Amino acid sequence: MSQISLTFPDGNSRDYDAGVTAAQVAESIAPSLAKRAISASLDGKHIDLAWPITASGAIAIHTLKDEEQALELIRHDFAHVMARAVQEIWPDVKVTIGPVRDHGWFYDFDRAEPFTPEDLGQIEAKMKQIINAREPVRTEVWDRARAVAHYEAANEPFKVELIDRIPEGEDLRMYWHGDWQDLCRGPHLQNTGQLPADAFKLTHIAGAYWLGDATRPMLQRIYGVAFRNKDDLKAHLHMLEEAAKRDHRKLGREMDLFHMQEEAPGQIFWHPNGWNIYTTLQDYMRRKQRADGYVEVNTPQVVSRKLWEESGHWENYQENMFIVEVDEDHARTKTINALKPMNCPCHVQIFNHGLKSYRDLPLRMAEFGSCNRYEPSGALHGIMRVRGFTQDDAHIFCTEDQIEAETKKFIEFLAGIYADLGFTGWRIKLSTRPEKRIGSDESWDRVEAALGNACQAAGYDFTIFPGEGAFYGPKLEFVLTDAIGRDWQCGTLQVDPNLPERLDAEYVGQDGHKHRPIMLHRAVLGSFERFIGILIENSAGKLPFWLAPRQVVVASIVSDADDYVHEVVSALQAAGIRAEADTRNEKINYKVREHSVAKVPAILAIGMKEVESRSVSMRRLDQQGSRTLSLDEVIAQLADEATAPDLR
């Protein structure tokens, strides 16, 4: 039998007979490792312990301590165990697919009757029975004809269709969890008892079209979450509870910020309170950009198909664009335009207008650009995922030699803004060259090094994501972590030599010849709409005072105090504070509760005692009791808090 050589993470190698399994490799190292082993990686590919290894390579044996691999297996096995439980309870249910996703999995089922929330408890109980049985998990590779015949006999048409979609020559791997069988690439655990029975929960049910196609059958999708231990599950469920409390859609109603309706899907109706947040944030960003050397521009909403063809968007992005047909002067042929889904091609048009010199570079061009992109209705989510949005978009036209300095400058700019907005926990991802790309390896080496050097010069570490860059250049992504531990990718910086080439952008260099600029696409917030949603959820609606849409409510305790209430409101407004009066004939406790639910940061209560002393009784959101202060003291304190960070 031929021999293969396997190299371990410590650099040592051992020879084995070809066809050895990872389980046997683990046993050869130590029986204790074999007992703890759950899977292996061979040349970076995650594999099952039972798969034969036929070629030399680098191997690593995984245990439950290896979080990434352990969670993948746990969640994948839970998907199978859940599907088995469903079919044991309801044998007529047909199964489809059950992929791993963030924090858990889902599985789609075809069942005549709808699942109910009460069914989830019954399924969980059956799953625990299967886990406690500690039944073995085994795998075989079948030929296509045998697999099709098996599923046709079992009346599982979705599995037959999946087999038809698998490329010829690719293994069809079958897995058994006990007596229950499924088509799956694997890998899986070695027995059902390796699943942590106290570390999973089925969370909800939703509808889903087969393979995401609205013309195909509507299936029922059951979602679950799973972790390595019950403490991690408990922490995640607590996070979900917090997320529900912080849901920007719920808070948007309570704070009267915005609404959405079916007559304008994916578009936002901003109410006065919400628009206060929007314009305050935009004014802040405008000042910051001007101070950092940006020029602000504005470009058309409707742009001819011709430009989108030249930029490449018509070929590669058309399905996400809203097409606008115009009957120009009642001509027989309509002119085809599109609402812009992004601003970059229009910015190149401004760059191209007039001769540019190397002395003009770097040119930092910013726009609060309103864009429209088609998103499927099922993907829309409050103001976080919409069809109409405005980006804090900018493009830096520069030379290749300026990339590093401009990237460092941008990282420092972004860091200051995130700090002002209350985000100190964020990290940088560097996405590098994909397999299919343009440009020489030498050019990619220089540009990737420039981005990495810029991060280090700005004082930030970064994580490399190999192969995740665009075909024309690498990029940086800036990922925020909010108050309850969720990640949000907001800021970006993308190196692009491609669009200036396609749209014929040029500048005159020191040598007197024409050269192509490099274009750096960059954003800090991303879209205002989504970022405001993130701000609302991060703060649970208790926005920083300078961003709060309603900063102060001055409430009367008795009607005889109404005149002084209006005097206080006028004085606060004159100091630049968003203040309003509440002189309704309601008890003060009712008013305080109502405005607290609406997340008003400061409530000033005024009765006759305050009128006589020309003072106010101030209650702060989430603080017990109140303080009596002079009107001048309150104005000075709140005017300072109402000042944006860049103006202090």
Active site (catalytic) residues: 344, 373, 391, 393, 395, 475, 521
Spatial contact of 628 and 283, defined as CB atoms under 8 Å apart: no
Closest C-alpha among 505, 457, 452 to residue 474: 452
Closest C-alpha among 648, 593, 645, 642 to residue 276: 642
- Give the 3-state secondary structure of residue 264: coil
Say if residue 536 is exposed, middle or buried (CB neighbours under 10 Å; 0-12, 13-18, 19+). Answer: buried
398 is in an annotated binding site: no
Give the torsion through C-alpha atoms of 417, 418, 422, 428, to 10 deg. Answer: -170
Spatial contact of 374 and 297, defined as CB atoms under 8 Å apart: no
248 is in an annotated binding site: no
Query: What is the rounded distance in angstroms from the CA atom of residue 459 to the CA atom of residue 78?
Result: 42
Query: What is the rounded distance in angstroms from the CA atom of residue 338 to the CA atom of residue 315?
Result: 13
Closest C-alpha among 546, 543, 602 to residue 576: 546
Give the torsion through C-alpha atoms of 225, 228, 229, 235, to 10 deg. Answer: -50
**Could you write out the DSSP letters of every residue in 15-46?**
EEETTEEHHHHHHHH-HHHHHHEEEEEETTEE
**Could you write out the DSSP letters of every residue in 181-216?**
EEE------SBGGGS-TTSEEEEEEEEEEGGG-TTS
How many Cβ atoms are within 10 Å of 320's Cβ, its own excluded?
14
User: Measuring CA to CA, how many Å separate 633 from each of 55, 367, 566, 638, 640?
Assistant: 78, 40, 18, 9, 11
521 is in an annotated binding site: yes
Say if residue 571 is exposed, middle or buried (CB neighbours under 10 Å; 0-12, 13-18, 19+). Answer: middle
Spatial contact of 362 and 321, defined as CB atoms under 8 Å apart: no
Binding residues: 344, 395, 521
Binding residues for Zn(2+): 344, 395, 521
